[in-house]
Structure 1
Amino acid sequence: MRLVFAGTPEFSVPPLQTLIDSDHEVVAVYTQPDRPAGRGRRLQAGPVKALALDHGLPVEQPTRLKPPAALDRLRDYAPELMVVVAYGLLLPRAVLDIPTRGCVNIHASLLPRWRGAAPIQRAIEAGDTETGITLMQMDAGLDTGPMLARATTPISDTDTAADLHDRLAGLGARLLGEQLEAILAGRIQPQPQDEAGASYATKLHKSEASIDWNRPAPRLLRQVNAFNPWPVAQTAFGDRTLRIWRAACLQTDGRHGDPGSILAAGRDGVDVACGAGVLRLLEVQLPGGRRIPAGDFSHAQALDGVCLGQAADA
């Protein structure tokens, strides 16, 4: 059958590869326009475009899908199914109606939990112990369509958004491969989402990165994990900003010192008092430097009497 794929970032690459490896024909790949990147700010193709070109697939990069010319272009491909994975453009009803078997979306949460832009990060931040992939029949709403299939994976205390991103990308590709023939044959009965359980994963903002040491250690750990690789949790270290890439809970409750005060520092990490419990920093970064183990950071910096989160003149 004739398939069209729409996706842009690295998360979309494994599902596209699954379609390329299938017995069906990928007649076109839709992806976001090239973006400036690097010091020279030269236009750079995204990961999906690179894979498509490697396989000699037609690539379409419209800035909008509503104009009649864009709709006519899609109709010319005569798709029977469109698979959408983190594409970055909203699909209007006119687009959804073009493929004869509709449009299917791979969404990185167990819908209706975490509709929206940042489901991986918000699941970690909220303390969810499980997440997964939902194959969804697309409709005009934001991740509101009926569900075709789901696959789950646990979230551990050591999982960062980067870790979970890679795991879910592979899980989404496998689920698509397992269900593709049934979807094309119409053998799956779509199940409506329970609106009562819906939640929204709002887009991340840099302003969320700052750590408030008055919060309990488990909550701060979730913040660190959720914001790796972006925007990365950070705290004031004198007149500099210390980015925290990885951490662990040493104590989950109790008062162990003034929030932000460094209780101990050694090769195992840097232990910081929180509003409740103790957070151990495991991997950190100073401006202009690289990510390093917190143990190395403790050997290179004078940490006695330091209270993180306080400016140098505080």
Structure 2
Amino acid sequence: MINADLATIWAFIIAFAVFGYVVLDGFDLGIGILFPAFKVGADRDAAMNAIAPVWDGNETWLVLGGGGLFAAFPLAYAILMPAMYPPIIAMLLGLVFRGVAFEYRWRDPGHRRWWDIAFTAGSFTAAFAQGVILGALLQGVKVSGRAYGGAWLDWLTPFSVLTGVSVVIGYALLGATWLIAKTEGRTAEQALGFARWLGVATLAVVALVSLATPFLNHDYYSRWFRMPGLLLTAPVPILVAGIAVLFWRALRRGAQILPFVLTIAVFALCFIGLGISMYPYIVPDAVTIWQAAAPESSQVFMLVGVGIMLPLIIGYTAWGYWVFRGKVGEGYH
């Protein structure tokens, strides 16, 4: 018998891991997306050095989220993976290309131009694929019995392309605001310019996705626009608008860390909106978290391990960011 409380706890653990990945790996993917806009030489080196100490550790959260889904909700994993194999494979290949390019651009300077292209292409591909996966999940997948019942390309729709573009723009904004906080001189000034127009673009795509989502073939409309769900959803766009005002004021007065923090806040509100739309389904309108959950004994066993490891992951991540705090200056690697 499945313990409903354990299933809910595991849903929050996986949601926390996914959000941690989106924020932490999002800004270094965003820097990869913006990379061609920086001048070859010191500017690109500064952008790369701003993420050099932390980029690979950021991907820990993707492993925790994916592994947690497989272990805690095996039915959902068995349904969603076949439904989204192409974008998932594209995402993983993008991450591989980005990681290899990151390391070899320093070790093989004779081909640095090609490694820079691979770094940008891998970052863009991974970000776009993650957005497509989000859109495909929101629009739902066909379930037949306890398996995926759709076609190979069901994930590819105008809505999933919209969410793919939206994630690329949002990650680019995270990257720009991270560079404002971590770099100085011409690189920081250029990042500030990017943040201005990317802020507008991010708000635009958030609005478009938010307007499109309630009209998908699920119960999203009633969750967002009818009581009692309206009491939960109404504050979300209001808070986003308030954060947008604070964001523009922070940019105008030259704040360095606050724009990044406020961008994370917008992502957090979008994530809350996603949770309101989907809960308690893990496969929209098909499988709930309790239907997909592993046996109670398995969940308890894994919860003990996560209870030990999650604080360690948070601790060494926080320590790493603390050790490499401050600005990236010329000559630092």
After TM superposition, the score normalised by the length of structure 1 is: 0.22
The one of the two structures with greater contact order (alpha-carbon pairs below 8 A, sep at least 6) is 2
After TM superposition, the score normalised by the length of structure 2 is: 0.21
Normalized per residue, the structure richer in helix is 2
Normalized per residue, the structure richer in strand is 1
Structure number with larger C-alpha Rg: 1
